[in-house]
A and B are shown apart, each in its own frame.
Chain A
Amino acid sequence: MTPSSADYDYIRRLVQDHSAIMLEAGKEYLLGLRLQGLMTRHGCADIPALVQKLRSDRSGALSREVVEAMTNNETSFFRDLHPFETLRKVIVPELIRRRAAERTLDIWCGASSSGQEIYSVALTLREHFPELVNWRLNIVSTDLSREMVQRGRDGRYSQIEVNRGLPAMLLVKYFERSGMDYYVKPDIRRMVDFRELNLNGPWSGVPSRLDIVFMRNVLIYFEDAVKRRILAKVHDLLRPDGYLFLGGSETTLNLEDRLEQVQLERTRCFRRRH
């Protein structure tokens, strides 16, 4: 049976209601592609069969799976590189001075996919700031996708993944190989607290006074009203001298005027306007 536009609309609405992700109209083929594995697992021959199952999905488990399957989880270690350079050269040294009395840093990664981004932060801290050993580092990493959160927690990466953006020096120092994969060593893994969190829902477990927020390459999937709501919440949780990182094509401009853009080295970050 060929899927009707009502079937597509049903899935589009399901995904948007739950995750706020807007699926572009006209990309129906993509939908089929992303859902193929899931449909096979659940014995659905086609999209109409899947939609029929979804309509009677009382527990919400299948709906959730569909939503997760529609997320784009593209990421890599030290993605774009310059945010991490700025972190190392400017932001962390500055925060170490400013927090010398409290000796605490609260860091949140709000769409961490399979974990490469937050491990890049953790590795930067561990490799370049030995003075932080006696600090309380509260590093929370969250994502909508249960599978991605578990991957981050496992800290297990394929050859293809460690090939991408991870300096070889850091690979040999902080990873160990087992079978075909490379594992983040336990003392780095223990630095990060991985949890499920839907940015489009209540934010439980997010530290309430944040020094550094990474929320990169996720707002692009949302409509402006959702972006506004999320950025307003980030503003409220960010400390007056804290920093927000967005993806290269994302901004607060015309969305949250209480956050202003600052150019630090090669990177654009955002802070509370004073």
Chain B
Amino acid sequence: MGKRALVIDDSRAMRRVIANILTERGFEVLEAENGQVALDQLEANPGIEVALVDWNMPVMNGYDFIKAVRAQPKYARLTMMMVTTETEMSQVVRALAAGANEYVMKPFTADALVEKLELLGLL
């Protein structure tokens, strides 16, 4: 069975785009439409190795999600990659400081996403 990935984005279309790239690379993909749902998904589905996290979402945004995850030692081994339209350097710094492992700016190509997964040792 492939690695488990959680795709978190309030845009259903964007979730599909990312999920397709991941399933093509052998990932098993779960989806969530905001950070709160994602936390529930993490709790219910052990073995998720990587979360791809949008920043701007209703209910709980990606930045708060990452902080919430990093506050829980049981998720210490979860790799998190921000995938967002935020392109200011200060935002990248904030995301990394909060505990994101990588950062991809939208719009992105499949190559870009795959290369980042390689950087993270997930491919």
Chain A residues with a Cβ under 8 A of chain B: 76, 78, 81, 159-160, 162-165, 167-169, 171-172, 175-177, 182
Contact = CB atoms under 8 A, between A and B. Distances in A.
Contacts of B107: 160
B20 interface: no
B96 A76 contact: no
A163 B105 contact: yes
Closest 4 CB pairs of A and B: A168-B103, A163-B112, A165-B115, A177-B89
Given A164-B112, A167-B102, A159 B96 contact: no
Given A160-B109, A163-B104, A163-B112, A168 B89 contact: no
B14 to A, nearest CB: 15
Nearest to B100: A168
A164 B111 contact: yes
A171 B92 contact: yes
Contacts of B96: 168-169, 172
Contacts of A168: 92, 95-96, 100, 102-103
Contacts of B100: 168
B119 A159 contact: no
B50 to A, nearest CB: 15
Contacts of A76: 111, 115
A172 B119 contact: no
B118 interface: yes
Contacts of B115: 76, 78, 81, 164-165
Interface range on chain B (Cβ under 8 Å from partner): 20 to 34
13 contacts: A78-B115, A78-B119, A160-B109, A163-B105, A163-B109, A163-B112, A164-B115, A167-B102, A168-B92, A168-B103, A172-B89, A172-B92, A177-B87
A50 B79 CA distance: 54
Given A159-B87, A165-B112, 12 more contacts: A159-B105, A160-B112, A163-B104, A164-B111, A164-B112, A164-B115, A168-B100, A168-B102, A168-B103, A171-B103, A175-B89, A177-B88
Contacts of A182: 89
A162 B104 CA distance: 9
Interface string B83-104: 0000111001101100010111
Interface in B41-82: none
Nearest to A77: B115
B85 to A, nearest CB: 10
B36 to A, nearest CB: 25
| Most chain A beta-carbon neighbours within 10 Å: one of B100, B102, B112 | B112
